[in-house]
Each structure stands twice: as C-alpha cells, then as structure tokens.
Chains A and B, each alone.
Chain A
Amino acid sequence: MERKLTELSAQEEIARRTRRSFIVIGAGAVAGAAGIAGLVSGAPEGDIPPALRGVLGFNEKIARTALYSNDHLAQTYPASAIGDQKVNGDVGIDTDLDMATWKLEVVPFHGGTPRILTMDDVKSLPHFEETIDFKCVEGWSTVSQFAGVRLADFTAKFAPGSQAAPCVGMRTPDEEYYVSIDAPSAMHPQTLLAWEMNGKPLTEGHGAPLRLVIPVKYGIKNIKRIGRIEYTEKPTPDYWEERGYDWYAGL
C-alpha cells in the first residue's frame, strides 16, 4: 500500500503507526509474560508447576493416541555396540541384598489373591534377550544387553486377567523406590523382567536379582530389585514423578 502524503505528514504517519505497533507489542509482551508467569508459578516444593504438568499430560495423550504402538520397537544393536553401563542411583537398593528373604509379590488387578513368587517361578517363562540403548532422562545413553522374561508373558501366567489393568506399579522391597507405568508400555514385547546384563548375572548396583527393562521409557522407570508388582486402575505413586518428572516418561 502506498499513500501520497506531504513530507511532514509522512513522518507523522509513520510515527503514529510506530507508536501503535509498540503499544500492541507492549501489550502482547505483558500478556505473554503474564501467561508464562502463570505457567511457571505455583510449583510445590521440589515439583514442577501444575500448568506445566497439565501440558505434559496433554503431550502424553497425543503420544499414546498418535505415536505409540506395540509394533514400534526400540532400536536393537549388535553385541559390539555394548558400552560400559554406569550405576546411576541407589535409591531402594542401598542395603545388601539378602536372597534368603527376597521374594516377588504379585498383586493382581481388582484385588485378586496376591501371590508370592521365587526366581525359579520367573525363570520358568520363555527367555528373551535384547541389546538396546538404555536412555537416561539426563540425556546420556548406553547400549546394554539384557536377558529375562517378557512382562506380558509374566502377567499372563501369574496374574491372568490383569492385562486389562490400565497401570502397573512396582516397588523395591524396602518401598524406597517405586514406579507406575501405563499398561501398553508395560506389555510392550521389549519390556522384560531381567536378571542378566551383558551376559552376566545382574550386579546389585544394576538391580539384582530382578529388574525392569523397559526400552520405551527413560531409565527412571527401569526399576531395580523389584519386590512387588501390582496391577492397578489408577497410577500408583511414582518416585520421579513426585520429584517433578513426567509420569509417562515415554520414548
């Protein structure tokens, strides 16, 4: 658009337009800053603000409806890619493991009778192994080989009917570390209850005698030294969710 104006009025006109634009930008900046302030305020101690938590929940819905599929497999690797897996966190496993007292408690969906299992029970299922890139929420990742049984097979055998449960909760024997996982991810074919890493029995630091390996989740969900598995309607407490992380944490 071109407008014929005298020199004075051209300068006046652009000054007027510039003023108006700065007012609009200023108002936009104030509104935007207020919006951001609303998003990042009201955080409980050690947690993220509720509005951001809400967006993470929205993102989870999008991921679960538009992206997630049990046919989508995490990349697997040759043995030559295996790296040096570090021990990152000892919450729930900082006491010596006593195999004489360790047991696995399984609580089925809708209050069926809990079962107490041994490692031999777990190992009676078909064995699977996978070499996957274990991804920490911090950003690093390490290729590792794990061997164990599929949680889906485990559920079918030891908690039949519990596949219908929306959530699976697990915790360490001392109840210090606990995770809650959506059922589709828990029943993913690469989700294992594992007792072996890189061809050797799990060390205590890596979760002996039995840990969860769930490549469609960040490491924070890959609980070590499992003492109890329960199938629930609602998410049970989750250690890192309580500390500000996304409950879904899906990859």
Chain B
Amino acid sequence: MDETQILEEKHKLATRWFHWINFPILTLMIASGMLIYWAYDPYRIGIGSITLFHFFPDWFYDLTKIDHKLSLGMAIHFTMAWIFTINGIAYVLYTAVSGEWRELVPEKKSFREAALVAMHDMGLKVALPPQGRYNAAQRITYSLIVFMGGLSLLTGLAIYKPAQLNWLVAALGGYEWARWEHFWLTMSYVGFFGIHIAQVIRAGWANFRSMVCGYDVVAAGGTKESEHGA
C-alpha cells in the first residue's frame, strides 16, 4: 500500500452536470406526468379480462394524493419539458462532439459481454472481460436510456400537438399508441432507476464519488478502488 496513488479522471465535468440536472428534472417530469395520467388511467398488466396490475390502484392514488391535479400537472410538465429537452440535446451534442460517445455506444462485442456482466452481477463466478470507462452492460443500458429520452420527447410532442404534427403521430402508430408508448417509456425509467440505484450501492462509495467529483484514486500502477461502476 505504499505504492504511489494518483487521481484518475472518471467522468467529465459536463457529463456530471448533465447527469445531475437530469435527475431532478426527470423526477419532476415523471411526477407531473402522473398528475396528468390520473385523469385517464387505462393501462394495466393483464390478458383479456384478467388484470394482474392496474396503473394505478386506488391505494396508490390515496397514498400519493396525485388526484384532481390535471391542470397543474400539464403546466408543470410543459414547463419542465423545456429543461429536459435542452439538457438532453446538449448532452447528446456534447457527447458526439467531444468524442465521449466512443466510451458509451455499444460495440459489437458489447452484446455478448453484457451477458457475462449480468451473470457476474447476479453472483455467478464469471470472469469479466476487460472494460473501458463503462462495461458492456453499461454501454448498452446507458445508450438505450439516452435513445429512450429522445423517444419520450417525440412521443410527448405527438401527444402535445397531434394536429400540427400528425405525421409524427402517424409514425408512432396513432394518438393512443403514442400515449401508450410515452407511458411505458416512463415506467421503464422507473425500472431503470431501481436497478441503477441498486448497482450504485453495490459498486460502492468510490464509484459514486467519481460521479460527484469526477475522480477516483488509483494506484499509479493500475488497480482502482472501485471494481466496476454502476
């Protein structure tokens, strides 16, 4: 341990800003979206007349008190959408121009390697392939999340201005499908958030710290404190 330690940059300042701005804004988008969804809440998991789960049950509305706030929900949603959109587009532009996309976008081998990462994370003793900033599973997941953000914007615009953008509505399969897609994209974020948090906790403090301050402590020779990120 008397080996020399150095700081290694893990996440660029810009990336961290985009990430930490997106977190509360997406939270507000989801929350205000729920106020809107309450007014017409047809979606469920089920087949035919069998409903396994209705989005959302009465106890959920009672608990969250999101009922009867449609107009407020719409006003917040159509305000925060600007910040969500600007932050998202700025992130994509930054990632494209800076070359950071090379660290993020899945490679051919990512899809095979992601299975190994998943098995490893589920506790199976699998040798992990060497990785860059993001492992194969992270490359796929994080790229997918950015892509889904774009889809949320497009499906949202289609629902927001269906007459002016009727070509977009048609491309998404119609008005009702666009709303369905918008809803399930949102539910996917909630699912992603759960897994993401679990992985951040698993990966430990040094990994989390690197998303806050941008750096990790590594031995000058090589091994870093955090094994792999979340």
Contact = CB atoms under 8 A, between A and B. Distances in A.
Interface centre among A7, A133, A215, A216 (most CB of B within 10 A): A7
Contacts of B1: 7
B175 interface: yes
B2 A7 contact: yes
B20 A28 contact: yes
A14 interface: yes
Contacts of A28: 20
B214 interface: yes
A251 B164 contact: yes
Chain A residues touching B, range: 35 or more
Nearest to B1: A7
A3 B6 contact: yes
B70 to A, nearest CB: 7
Given A21-B212, A138-B40, A244 B8 contact: no
Contact of A7 (B5, B76, B162, B212): B5
Contacts of A48: 71-72, 75
Interface in B175-194: 175-176, 179
Given A21-B214, A25-B20, A73-B163, A10 B7 contact: yes
A53 interface: yes
Nearest to A5: B6
A243 B69 CA distance: 11
Interface string A41-75: 00100001100110110010001000111001111
A121 interface: no
Given A18-B213, A52-B79, A137 B70 contact: yes
Nearest to B176: A141
B100 interface: no
B170 interface: yes
Contact of B74 (A2, A25, A246, A251): A246
B166 interface: yes
Interface in B70-92: 70-72, 74-76, 78-79, 82
A55 B209 contact: no
B212 A55 contact: no
Contact of B7 (A2, A32, A43, A63): A2
A184 to B, nearest CB: 12
B163 A216 contact: yes
Contact of B71 (A17, A69, A244): A244
Interface class of chain A by DSSP: mixed
A6 B1 CA distance: 11
A75 to B, nearest CB: 5
B161 A75 contact: no
Interface residues of B, number: 46
A4 B75 contact: no
Nearest to B37: A139
B8 A25 contact: no
B118 interface: no
B9 interface: yes
B79 A75 contact: no
Contacts of B163: 72-75, 215-216, 250-251
Nearest to B179: A139
Closest 10 CB pairs of A and B: A244-B71, A139-B40, A10-B5, A52-B75, A138-B39, A17-B213, A21-B213, A74-B163, A55-B79, A67-B164
29 contacts: A1-B9, A2-B7, A2-B9, A5-B6, A7-B2, A10-B7, A13-B7, A14-B215, A14-B217, A17-B7, A17-B215, A18-B212, A18-B213, A22-B212, A28-B20, A48-B71, A48-B72, A52-B79, A55-B75, A56-B75, A63-B161, A67-B161, A72-B164, A73-B166, A139-B37, A215-B163, A243-B71, A251-B161, A251-B162
Interface of B: 1-9, 16, 20, 24, 28, 36-37, 39-40, 42, 70-72, 74-76, 78-79, 82, 161-166, 169-170, 175-176, 179, 209, 212-217, 220
Interface of A: 1-7, 10-11, 13-14, 17-18, 20-22, 25, 28-29, 32, 36, 39-40, 43, 48-49, 52-53, 55-56, 59, 63, 67-69, 72-75, 133, 135-141, 215-216, 243-246, 250-251
Given A6-B5, A10-B7, 18 more contacts: A5-B7, A7-B2, A17-B7, A36-B28, A39-B79, A40-B72, A52-B76, A53-B75, A69-B164, A74-B162, A75-B175, A133-B175, A136-B40, A139-B40, A244-B71, A244-B75, A250-B164, A251-B163
